[in-house]
Structure 1
């Protein structure tokens, strides 16, 4: 991949800030996960935890590091641009959705196969099921939000039509509906009844991307107004409502903002989106410089692989440490020694993640699909199978007390391959010209 050539080929019409915010969001996710891990080896046993459970002063920081709303906002811009481009070419919904599923689903398949192999071999070797369940749950956390994103993408054309008809009333309606879902979920004590908010709340933030693309957020005043509405809404919900300060889920908490997604994340998305878009002119000028734009292209070229594998890298490092008697994991979390070793921790995890990218990154650039469009119901079926399988694994891992549930990872794999969304035995990778600056999102 020639990053320099891609940078030089970037058309002046491209909104570079879209690519930068996408890259920034995923880098913050990876760095946040690595930093939050508060694992320590005591008396030869691994004691897993996270700093959010150990220090309440970290909870307000999650208003910055919980950047999934930013990713959905950027996705809204990119998906609206892609869908409108498809319509101009005469491409239907099924073909468009297939292309989205190939781009999002192809990098997932090697991750699932690798974890199925790891779990099966380790369980047969006598590793306790509970240990493997925890490891697989941690490693597959990224698939949870990927499943939510895929559902939002599948509904993007309908949501865009709603936006084009109702404008900001559509965003307000989604947030109101998200609040009603929360009300039912909280009063009944049912997390399951709150799951529709993965689509509803993130769907509202996704529409902010529509507004950005359509020029409905033109000018710094309206962007700061959007941020102010988000700030007031988030503060009031936390202050007067049952919502916790932490926007990232806490272990063993009776109530979380992110599991299931709560309406607080919708207002947080307005806050984050408004502030970031207020900086768009500055960022746009900065991204005209060669170095930051090349770095942005480099991250975007393998952004899915980075997102999917960064926690697997952490699990592998912890596993190797345990095999070496807990080497590097004896410092008590939040102690001076623990903080002093964080740069080395980040460097090791980054190196292992880069190694994973070097091996599996090629799956991120599938060749252009020249086949006739599939039936719409088949593309939707593939989408449902992918989301269902990924959702189950993100919740439960792929191992329980009875052994390896090998069929869980096979559900999304089968859903994508047997429906023909990802053709087997055909070119899996495309040329580098499809990466970075040439991507629509």
Structure 2
């Protein structure tokens, strides 16, 4: 009689054997590991008590936790992995004669289609709550919290759109293409911080992440292959970060905290580039042992399965938390009587994670199919069409991530519908054929 364990082992062996030898398994693993850190970090950093949700409760009430964000703020790892994957993908497209328009449309379909149900569900939730008499302030906080992941998606789509140009810069100028970008990011910070204008710092969402994204190209091209270079990269990142935080105006926390006058992440500051160098150098030092470990069929199978629904996990994990927290508060704060940051509260975190894991898994089962779009066999579009679609997505998500769907005047459907409309109007979606 075949056991469940035997079936799992057999399936894992099949998947491992079918994986091309050329596939860099560490890339997939780092993507999955980074998502795991983000999810657990979000579920931990938010404090919930009978009065409601405290978005940055741990950071706001425990200054000692700020230094831990150097570990848990892993967005740079995504851009490192993204640089590797985007460089590989665009070079493959160039060899096959696939144009920029078709390439960008394919990338938008992979990232944009899973976003649609999240936006439409939250639009319906906000409308329902407001109609039921819930105060706009509470609905605004809930939607802001649930849609926090969209800021990363907006930034990442922006970088994907310019990735081919950035790859050309890397191929021609090498390390100088990174150095110039980091210096330019510092200049933007001087202007933004010096004038007290957050708006003046917004160009760094492009400059910082596009510059750091280049390290993924360096990894792809074997320019970070030796331990010496990896250690040097980590050292440059550590020294730069310590100088900027110790002597400059930048706070210790790499995630926004109420006690900080400025934020390292909103807007993105040059500190994030140095944090990325530190993290990239360290994680790449583990590349060889990770490569050997990922040859184990079961480990690789779990990595593959998680990556198959990674966008859904990322997009919906805070919806699970907001939903659970709101339900517990509505029932009088049941299960929320532990004082945040107390010993009992910390000991209860694994149970909190487990419950949220189950809820999020349920959401993945429902919405995960949107990560498997049908094969797109349409003719290649004019390049301006996917560019216009990407612009609509980034603009809508940027506003949603900062202000949610609800304002002083009530529900504002423009921003959640803008990405959906952009994907539909400019031809990223196939009419009546969203998913398998």
State the TM bucket, normalised to the shorter chain.
over 0.9
Question: What does 1:16-31 correspond to in 2, within 5 Å?
Answer: 16-31=25-40
- Could you say which residue in structure 2 is the equivalent of 1:437? none
The answer as to 2:184 corresponding to 1:172 is: no
Matched, 1:229 2:219: no
Where does residue 213 of structure 2 map in the other structure? 206
Does the 8 Å CA contact 2:80/2:212 hold for their aligned counterparts? yes
Aligned-partner Cα distance in 2 for 1:415–1:4:
42
Secondary structure in structure 1 of the residue aligned to 2:302: helix
* 2:159/2:209 contact within 8 Å kept: yes
8 Å contact kept, 1:3–1:298 = no
Instruction: Classify the secondary structure of the residue corresponding to 1:243.
Output: coil
Structure 1 position 424, deviation (Å): 2.5
User: Which of the numbers 219, 222, 232 marks the counterpart of 2:226?
Assistant: 219
Choose from 12, 21, 24 the match for 1:12. 21
Tell me how far apart the structure 2 counterparts of residues 260 and 48 of structure 1 sit (CA, whole Å). 18
Q: How many residues align?
A: 427
Structure 1 unaligned runs (5+)? 430-441
Once the two structures are superposed, what CA deviation does each residue of 1:342-380 show, in whole Å capped at 9, x if it has no partner? 111000111111011000000011111110111111111
Which structure 2 residues correspond to residues 233-382 of structure 1 after superposition, within 5 A? 233-251=240-258, 253-382=260-389
8 Å Cα contact 1:25-1:71 kept in structure 2: yes
Classify 1:47/1:386 alpha carbon distance in 2 versus 1 (closer, same or farther; 3 Å).
closer
The verdict on how the C-alpha distance between 1:394 and 1:3 changes in structure 2, with shifts beyond 3 A counting, is farther
Checking the alignment, whether the CA contact within 8 Å between 1:41 and 1:326 is kept in structure 2 is yes
| Alignment partners' CA distance in 1, 2:273 and 2:207 | 9
Residue 48 to residue 186, structure 1, CA distance change in 2 (3 Å): closer
Given that 1:106 and 1:363 are in contact with CA atoms closer than 8 Å, whether structure 2 keeps it comes out as yes
User: How does the TM-score come out when normalised to structure 2?
Assistant: 0.96
Q: Distance in 2 between matches of 1:174 and 1:132?
A: 39
Deviation at 1:427, TM superposition (A): 4.7
Q: CA deviation at 1:252?
A: 5.8
CA distance in structure 1 between the partners assigned to 2:21 and 2:380 by the alignment:
32
- Shift, 1:8, TM fit: 2.6
> In 1, are the aligned partners of 2:393 and 2:422 still within 8 Å (CA)?
yes
Query: Are residues 1:397 and 2:378 paired?
Result: no
SS in 1 for 2:77: helix
Q: Would you say the 8 A contact 2:79–2:209 is kept in 1?
A: yes
Q: What is the CA-CA distance between 1:4 and the residue it aligns to?
A: 5.3
Runs of 4+ in 1 over 4 A off after TM superposition: 1-4, 45-49
Shift of 1:383: 0.6
**CA distance change for structure 1 residues 306 and 46 in 2, over 3 Å: closer, same or farther?**
closer
Given that 2:110 and 2:373 are in contact with CA atoms closer than 8 Å, whether structure 1 keeps it comes out as yes
Q: 1:161 to 1:341 in 2, by over 3 A?
A: same
1:190 aligned residue (183, 194, 197): 197
Note if contact 1:3-1:297 (Cα within 8 Å) is conserved in structure 2. no
Map Cα deviations across residues 198-223 of structure 1 (whole Å, 9 max, x no partner): 11111121100000000111211111
Determine if contact 1:257/1:264 at 8 Å carries over to the other structure: yes
**Secondary structure of the structure 2 residue equivalent to 1:424:** coil
Q: CA deviation at 1:428?
A: 1.4
TM-score, with structure 1 as normaliser: 0.95
Secondary structure (helix, strand or coil) at the match of 1:421 reads coil
Report the Cα distance in structure 1 between the residues aligned to 2:54 and 2:173, rounded to whole angstroms.
51
**Aligned match of 2:112:** 105
Is the CA contact (8 Å cut-off) linking 2:60 and 2:259 kept in structure 1? Answer: no
How far the C-alpha of 1:49 sits from its partner, in A, is 4.5
